[in-house]
Amino acid sequence: MTTTVRVNGAQPYDVVIGRNLLGALPGLVGEAKRVLVVHPAALATTADAVIEDLRAAGYETFGAEVPDAEEAKTAQVAAFLWGVLGQADFTRSDAIVAVGGGATTDLGGFVAATWLRGIKVVQVPTTLLAMVDAAVGGKTGINTAEGKNLVGSFHPPAGVLCDLAALASMPKHDFVAGLAEVVKCGFIADPRILDLVEENVETLTDPVRASESEVLAELVERAVQVKADVVGEDLKEAGLREILNYGHTFAHAIENVERYQWRHGAAVSVGMVYVAELARLAGKLSDEVVDRHRSILTSLGLPTTYRGDRWERLLTAMRRDKKTRGDLLRFVVLEGVGKPTRLEGPDPTLLVAAYAEVSRDDSSTAIVL
């Protein structure tokens, strides 16, 4: 069964969720004459199928292979794609189709946003994390030596195609890491997500079984709906959209300290437990909800602790977070399931105490998951 989630706003678009959806791609690309399909090397076969379908639909279609994962999100790779667009005479009426994980969709969206000050992009996410997070919402970006996503633009896609069949081939640890963003959506807005995860752990931790299950289809739809509801009201993170960063302030600090060797979802998992503990210490959240964070994430095989000898480096990284204003640290916290709020400038002793709650005794630097 195919479902569609509408993302409203100044430039509305559809997120199509189902299986074997390539036939729906021309409807999202629309009236473009030329299409550039951006993809990592690992997805060359999938990209070839996309290119063949688009050519059969009458589009002049080109392919551009980019590095895997975060290696793609550089100014050099963006410049390579600008060169491809220029040599192929892409105009404002043409389009980019980004096929891949979150790094590829971030890159493809950024290049689309900057070519001729903005051309159409259609996102075809092939990982769970990209389907429920990176490819939806219009945030695009590349990395610099100073950090992730510091250069970017808000550029809503023309459409997003979430083909759940693509998830069957994902490595288990990558797939499970993507579930952290699904769980996040449950805690900030849709408690039914948490119930579904708790009731279906065995299925959800097997990518093949999960990709074929209706429970995953429902979870992706619900997570996308949470994001759609938020970004439809607040594209540029003026206020409401910040709730999507639940757990991310501490998570981004872990990623920075670990030189981006942790999976994003693993860092977000620890980040959610950290901020739940912070909310509890600030008198905003019950022990029961904090415990539920740990139980759900642990049942999926996600980490809930981090090494205990990195506080100063983590604090420095958090002060550089995009949600910080001046020297004022800001966190998205919960007052209950589905009740997010902001905690600004918490007492430094609370920050340290929350860190103690997620610290483990050993100082192993092993990559989690």
237 residue type, one letter = E
- Using the Cα atoms of residue 367, residue 137, residue 135 and residue 138 in order, give the sign of their dihedral: negative
Catalytic residue among 65, 198, 212, 237: 237
State CA 78 to chain mean position distance.
Answer: 20
Would residue 245 show up in a list of annotated catalytic residues for this protein? yes
Residue for token pair 């920075």: 256
Could you confirm whether 139 is annotated as catalytic?
yes
Spatial distance between the Cα atoms of 5 and 15, rounded to a whole number of angstroms:
5
For residue 190 the two structure tokens come to 């849709």
Q: Which of 70, 181, 221, 277 is catalytic?
A: 181
Q: Looking at 39, 73, 222, 241, which residue is catalytic?
A: 241
Active site residue 148: no
Catalytic, out of 264, 293, 294, 307: 264
Judge whether 155 counts as a catalytic residue: no
**CA terminus-to-terminus distance, the chain:** 32
Active site residue 264: yes
Q: What are phi and psi of 184, to 5 degrees?
A: -55, -45
Which of 184, 248, 294, 307 is labelled catalytic?
Answer: 248
Are the beta carbons of 158 and 121 closer than 8 angstroms?
Answer: yes
255 a catalytic residue: no
Q: Has 252 been annotated as catalytic?
A: yes
293 an active-site residue? no
Residue 147, classified by CB atoms within 10 Å of its CB into exposed (0-12), middle (13-18) or buried (19+), is middle
Residue with tokens 């910080």: 324
**Annotated catalytic residue within 227, 263, 280, 330:** 227
CB within 8 Å of 120: residues ≥ 6 apart: 29, 30, 32, 94, 95, 96, 112, 157, 158
Residue 314, CA atoms < 13 Å, CB-side half-sphere = 22
Q: Which of 34, 120, 245, 277 is catalytic?
A: 245
* Residue 325 DSSP label: B
CA distances in angstroms from 175 to 51, 91, 194, 289, listed in the order given: 26, 37, 17, 25
Active site residue 227: yes
Distance CA 60, CA 63 (A): 11
CA triplet 232, 19, 199: central angle to 5 degrees?
A: 75
Residues in the chain: 369
Q: Please name the helix (run of DSSP H) or strand (run of DSSP E) that holds residue 208, with its range, or none.
A: helix 207-212
Number of H helices, E strands in the chain: 15, 13
Q: Of these residues, 222, 252, 307, 310, which one is catalytic?
A: 252
256 is catalytic: no
Query: Catalytic residue numbers?
Result: 117, 139, 181, 227, 237, 241, 245, 248, 252, 264
